[in-house]
C-alpha cells in the first residue's frame, strides 16, 4: 500500500504487476500499475502516467486531443 500525492490531494493505492497494458497498437509487458478508488466526481476509467507514456514513446497531440505513437506501423 502506498500514498500518492497530487494536485487533488493524497490517495492510498495498491501496486500490482500486470502481464500487459495496451493502448491502441502499443503495449508494455510486465508493467506495474497503481490501483485506487479514483472517486473524482466524474467518470474515469484510468490515468496513464509518465512511466507508460515514456516507455511507449507516446506523444500527446493537444490540437487533436489524441495520443500518438510516431513509429507505429500505419
The residue range of the domain holding 22 is: 2-39+46-68
**Res. 22 pLDDT band, cuts 50 70 90:** very high
Portion of the chain with pLDDT greater than 90, in percent: 51
Q: pLDDT (tens digit, 9 = 90+) per residue, 42-72?
A: 888 888 889 999 999 999 999 999 999 987 6
**Per-residue pLDDT, 72:** 60
Q: Which residue has the higher pLDDT, 1 or 29?
A: 29
Report if residue 17 sits inside a domain. Answer: yes
In a domain, 19, yes or no: yes
Would you say residue 74 lies in a domain? no
Q: Is residue 51 part of a domain?
A: yes
Taking a C-beta distance cutoff of 8 angstroms, is the pair 57, 70 a contact? yes
**What's the number of domains the chain is made of?**
1
Cα(66)–Cα(69) distance, integer angstroms: 10
Question: How many Cβ atoms are within 10 Å of 56's Cβ, its own excluded?
Answer: 21
Mean pLDDT of the chain: 87
Residue 20 makes CB contacts below 8 A (sequence gap 6+) with 27, 28, 29, 31
User: Residue 73 falls within a domain, yes or no?
Assistant: no
Q: Is pLDDT at 40 greater than 80 in this prediction?
A: no
Q: Is residue 25 part of a domain?
A: yes
Question: Strand, helix or coil at 69?
Answer: coil
Amino acid at each position: 500500500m502506498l500514498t500518492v500525492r497530487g494536485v487533488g490531494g493524497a490517495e492510498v493505492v495498491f501496486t500490482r504487476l500486470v502481464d500487459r497494458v495496451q493502448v491502441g497498437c502499443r503495449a508494455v509487458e510486465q508493467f506495474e500499475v497503481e490501483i485506487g478508488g479514483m472517486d473524482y466526481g466524474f467518470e474515469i476509467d484510468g490515468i496513464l502516467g509518465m512511466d507508460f507514456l515514456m516507455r511507449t514513446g507516446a506523444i500527446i497531440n493537444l490540437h487533436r486531443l489524441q495520443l500518438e505513437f510516431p513509429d507505429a506501423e500505419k
